[in-house]
Every structure is written in C-alpha cells, then in structure tokens.
C-alpha cells in the first residue's frame, strides 16, 4: 500500500536512508492518511541520533533534543524528526524517568499509546504495523499497545487521549482498554492541567463533542477538576455544526452552569485568559431571552465586540437546532417572547447597515468633548458617557454631538 507523502517528508526520509539510517513517517500522519483524513502534521522517526540528524540538514531547531527531537525546516515548514526511543520507567505517572535511544523501530512503536497511532511508513518498506493498527482502523477501535493497565499507569493522560480519539474518529474504545480507564482514572490527578485541557479541547472541537460526557461516564471527571465534575452535564448540547473553535465549543458545553463555575472550570484547566474572557462575556447571553426589539438588541451588542456578538448568534442558532429552551421558566416566557436567532441576525444586520451606535467608540461625544464643555475630569465623565450611550441605544438617530451635548446641559 502506498501513502501520499509530502515531498519534504519524502526528501527527509531519503536523505536519512541515503546516509545509512532508517527513517519513517510515524504516528498520527500514518493513521490519518490511511483514514483518508488530511494529517495535521508529519512526524518522522529515525535510527539516527539527534546530532546525526542535525549534521544532515541545513536548517534545524533543537526542539526537544534531550528527548531525541530535532525540527527540520523545509520551505518554512517544520518537521519533527525524533530518534527511536524507549521511554524509561515512569516516575510519577507524568514523566519518564529517563529516555533511552534504541536502534530498533519495534521498540519505538511499542512506547506509543494506541495501535492506530503505532504504525510507521516509508515508500521503501510500506506500512509497518506490528500491533494490528490497520485492522483496528478498519474496525473503528481504540486499543492500547500492550497491557492497558500498565500503559495508563505509565501516563494517565492516555485516558483522555483515548476518549479524544474516540470522539475525533467516531471509534469505540475496546473493552479491556475501557475497563483499565475506569480503574486508573484517579491517576489523572497527577497529570498537568494544561495537558488535560488540550485533550478536552480537542475532544470538544471534534465531530462528536457530546462525547465529553464519556469523561463523566467513565469516572474520570472528579480527577479533571472539582468544578468540572460538578457541572450540570445532563443536557449537554454541542451541535457539531458549531464552528470547531475552542471558545465556541467550551461556551456551548458550559452554558448550563453558572458563569462563576464556568470560569472556575476554565481557570482550573489553565485556559488562556483571552479565551476565558471571551467565554465569560458570551456566557450570560447564550440562553438569555432577547426580544425582537432593536433597542434591546443594540444593548446586547453594546456588551461585546462585534465578532463576539456574531459568535453569540451562531451559538443561539445551534442551540435552537438542539432544541434548547431559551426562556428560563414559564413566567419569563409570558413577559418576554424571545426572538429566534434568525430574526436577531436580520435585525443586527439592519442595525449595522444603518450605522447605529452600539459602543462608546462610536458615540458622537467623547470624554474630550465633555472636558471642553467644562466638565471636571473624574468619575463624572465616564458616568456621563455611559448614560449617553444608554440613551443612544434607544434613540440611535440622536447620536449627534450637538444634540447629545444639549442633553448633557439639560440633565447634568
Ligand atoms: P494529532 O492529530 O492530535 O496531532 P497525533 O496522533 O499526531 O494526533 P500527537 O500528540 O501529535 O498525536 O502525538 C504523535 C504521536 O506520538 C502519536 O500518534 C503517538 O504515537 C505518540 N504519542 C503522543 N502522546 C503519547 C502518549 N501520551 N503516550 C504514548 N504515545 C504518545
Ligand atoms: Mg500530531
């Protein structure tokens, strides 16, 4: 069987083999190629030592030289070339005590997590499949290489990787692998929160994001974080039509929990601040009943950046398809008749088209104007500006300097 390999990868493998070393594409790229999916990146495994690799290529970066990885640059794209490796004994379920290089491809494949991730390929040799990865790919199965209990004890992150690959590929987790997950789940406590977050984010951004519930079903949630464990996940609704962007998928997942708890989960998992702040802003509006009223809609728009508001509409649209009930309770339903996302989208387009002011930046009066008008520097300026914005949100036609300054004169 022949796999289409990018030219640069072919060249790297050729250069190494011409100099007497072995070299193969390995891991995720082989898996994805066999599945007909576009590989995210191409990793190469070789019998050459990192120093030998460095000697053969003009531009290299010492990415993780102690662990055997050198990045070879070809046309501004980096390819990770890693020396065949046996991971030493794992000290604490987190880090291998030591990394040993080996000259045997088989040993390198042995250290990899799942059969579908433990295949190598070169045009010369074809597919090297020692553990039945091809068959598991055909059957749609995630199965550990070797004894699952040992493998999860070595590195508990593999527990979440199994769930993540299952969600990305639509695969089942094989029985003994699954029971081992349930047994070793408490070891996740020792795994760094960043690594956990990366896997959960990949799961949520997959084509089966609702499988985040596996983390609960398989008993892993208490060891992810307390706040995560306590989330109400009974009505998880993350339609896969949602863009696979982390803030959108996480926001959809966290919509049924309080804003405080949502932020706690993200902080626990060391999510970056920009994403936290985006989700924090969107959160209260995802299920909020918004009427088909332009003033009200402008008010919502004024709470966030324009692109964030677009994300909000995308989220609400998806929730409608997932048949999430918007108004919290009957009473609200009577007072407020929430508009459909499609209606809100149309109204927002009209608001933008008309150039209505929806943020302080677009207000016809600035702080400077108020100072020039004689107002003293200080709190009053900010309060006046917000008061004017609030007024203009309901009276967009009055966003004109003279009119607003007159209002200031009358009111303040
Ligand atoms: P992705 O599409 O997310 O990049 P991938 O399979 O390439 O998937 P990586 O995290 O990039 O995943 O890892 C590359 C390869 O390294 C894997 O295919 C697997 O062979 C091996 N690997 C990665 N993490 C582990 C781990 N925790 N334990 C064992 N092997 C691992
Ligand atoms: Mg990869």
Q: Calculate how far, in angstroms, residue 30's C-alpha sits from the geometric centre of ligand 2.
A: 10
Residue whose CA is closest, atom 30 of ligand 1?
Answer: 112
For ligand 1, say whether the CB of 33 is within 6 Å of any of its atoms. no
Please report the pLDDT score of residue 189 as a whole number: 96
pLDDT tier, 99 (very low <50, low <70, confident <90, very high otherwise): confident
Q: Calculate how far, in angstroms, residue 40's C-alpha sits from the geometric centre of ligand 2.
A: 6
For ligand 1, say whether the CB of 157 is within 6 Å of any of its atoms. yes
CA–CA distance, 254 with 258 (Å, rounded to integer): 8
Query: Which of 113, 180, 103 is CA-nearest to residue 146?
Result: 113
Residue whose CA is closest, atom 11 of ligand 1?
Answer: 28
* The two structure tokens encoding residue 247: 């803030």
pLDDT tier, 337 (very low <50, low <70, confident <90, very high otherwise): confident
**Ligand 1 site-directed mutation target among 94, 117, 165, most atoms within 8 Å of CB:** 117
Q: Calculate how far, in angstroms, residue 274's C-alpha sits from the geometric centre of ligand 2.
A: 25
For ligand 1, say whether the CB of 40 is within 6 Å of any of its atoms. yes
Looking at all shown ligands, the one closest to residue 26's CA atom is 1
Q: At residue 397, does pLDDT exceed 70? A: yes
More confident: 248 or 332: 248
Q: Calculate how far, in angstroms, residue 41's C-alpha sits from the geometric centre of ligand 2.
A: 6
Looking at all shown ligands, the one closest to residue 45's CA atom is 1
Q: Calculate how far, in angstroms, residue 84's C-alpha sits from the geometric centre of ligand 2.
A: 17
For ligand 1, say whether the CB of 117 is within 6 Å of any of its atoms. yes
CA–CA distance, 363 with 405 (Å, rounded to integer): 12
Q: At residue 325, does pLDDT exceed 60? A: no
Q: Calculate how far, in angstroms, residue 7's C-alpha sits from the geometric centre of ligand 1.
A: 22
Q: What's the mean pLDDT in 177-206?
A: 97
- In the DSSP assignment, the letter for residue 119 is -
Q: At residue 387, does pLDDT exceed 70? A: yes
Q: At residue 276, does pLDDT exceed 80? A: yes
SS (H, E, C) 349-360: HHHHHHCCCCCH
DSSP string, 51-85: HHHHHH-SSEEEEEGGGTEEEEEETTEEEEEEE-E
Q: At residue 94, does pLDDT exceed 60? A: no
Q: Calculate how far, in angstroms, residue 58's C-alpha sits from the geometric centre of ligand 1.
A: 27
Q: What's the mean pLDDT in 369-396?
A: 93
Q: Calculate how far, in angstroms, residue 80's C-alpha sits from the geometric centre of ligand 2.
A: 10
Give the CA dihedral 229, 231, 232, 234, nearest 10 degrees. -50
Please report the pLDDT score of residue 323 as a whole number: 64
For ligand 1, say whether the CB of 399 is within 6 Å of any of its atoms. no
Q: At residue 329, does pLDDT exceed 70? A: no
Looking at all shown ligands, the one closest to residue 168's CA atom is 1
Q: What's the mean pLDDT in 305-317?
A: 96
Q: Calculate how far, in angstroms, residue 90's C-alpha sits from the geometric centre of ligand 1.
A: 17
For ligand 1, say whether the CB of 155 is within 6 Å of any of its atoms. yes
Q: What's the mean pLDDT in 258-281?
A: 97
Predicted TM-score of the model (pTM): 0.93
Please report the pLDDT score of residue 322 as a whole number: 76
CA–CA distance, 306 with 351 (Å, rounded to integer): 12
* The two structure tokens encoding residue 285: 């509006």
For ligand 1, say whether the CB of 28 is within 6 Å of any of its atoms. yes
For ligand 1, say whether the CB of 108 is within 6 Å of any of its atoms. no
Residue whose CA is closest, atom 22 of ligand 1?
Answer: 112
Question: Closest ligand 1 atom to the C-alpha of 202?
Answer: 3
For ligand 1, say whether the CB of 158 is within 6 Å of any of its atoms. yes
Q: At residue 326, does pLDDT exceed 80? A: no
Dihedral sign, CA of 37, 115, 1, 44? positive
CA–CA distance, 387 with 407 (Å, rounded to integer): 10
Query: Which of 255, 243, 251 is CA-nearest to residue 278?
Result: 251
Q: How many CA atoms lie within 13 A of 246 on its CB side?
A: 15
For ligand 1, say whether the CB of 27 is within 6 Å of any of its atoms. yes
- CA-to-CA separations, 388 to 67, 271, 304, in angstroms, rounded: 60, 36, 18
């Amino acid at each position: 069987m022949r796999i289409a390999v990018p030219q640069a990868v072919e060249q790297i493998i050729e250069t190494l083999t011409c100099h007497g070393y072995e070299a193969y594409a390995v891991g995720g790229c082989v898996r994805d190629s066999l599945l007909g999916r576009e590989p995210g990146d191409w990793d190469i495994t070789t019998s050459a030592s990192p120093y030998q690799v460095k000697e053969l290529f003009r531009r290299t970066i010492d990415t993780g030289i102690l662990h055997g990885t050198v990045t070879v640059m070809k046309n501004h794209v980096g390819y990770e070339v890693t020396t065949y490796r046996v991971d030493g004994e794992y000290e604490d379920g987190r880090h291998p005590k030591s990394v040993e290089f080996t000259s045997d491809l088989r040993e390198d494949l042995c250290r990899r997590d799942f059969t579908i991730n433990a295949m190598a390929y070169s045009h010369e040799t074809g597919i090297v499949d020692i553990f039945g990865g091809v068959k598991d790919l055909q059957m749609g199965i995630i199965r550990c290489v070797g004894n699952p209990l040992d493998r999860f004890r070595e590195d508990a992150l593999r527990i979440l990787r199994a769930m993540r690959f299952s969600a990305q590929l639509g695969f089942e987790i094989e029985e003994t692998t699954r029971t081992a997950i349930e047994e070793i789940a408490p070891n996740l406590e020792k795994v760094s929160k960043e690594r956990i977050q990366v896997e959960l984010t990949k799961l949520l951004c997959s084509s089966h994001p609702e499988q985040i519930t596996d983390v609960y079903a398989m008993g892993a949630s208490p060891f992810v974080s307390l706040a995560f464990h306590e989330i109400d996940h009974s009505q998880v609704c993350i339609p896969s039509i949602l863009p696979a962007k982390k803030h959108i998928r996480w926001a959809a997942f966290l919509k049924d929990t309080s804003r405080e708890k949502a932020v706690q989960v993200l902080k626990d998992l060391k999510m970056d601040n920009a994403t936290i702040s985006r989700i924090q802003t969107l959160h209260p509006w995802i299920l909020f009943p918004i009427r088909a009223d332009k003033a009200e809609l402008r008010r919502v728009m004024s709470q966030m950046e324009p692109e964030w508001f677009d994300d909000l509409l995308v989220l609400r649209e998806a929730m409608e398809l997932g048949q999430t009930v918007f108004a919290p309770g009957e009473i609200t339903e009577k007072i407020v008749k929430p508009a459909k996302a499609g209606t809100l989208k149309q109204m927002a387009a009209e608001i933008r088209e008309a150039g209505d002011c929806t943020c302080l930046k677009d207000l016809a009066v600035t702080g400077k104007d108020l100072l020039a008008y004689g107002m003293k520097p200080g709190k009053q300026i900010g309060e006046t500006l917000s008061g004017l914005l609030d007024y203009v949100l309901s009276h967009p036609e009055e966003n004109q300097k003279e009119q607003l300054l007159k209002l200031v004169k009358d009111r303040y």
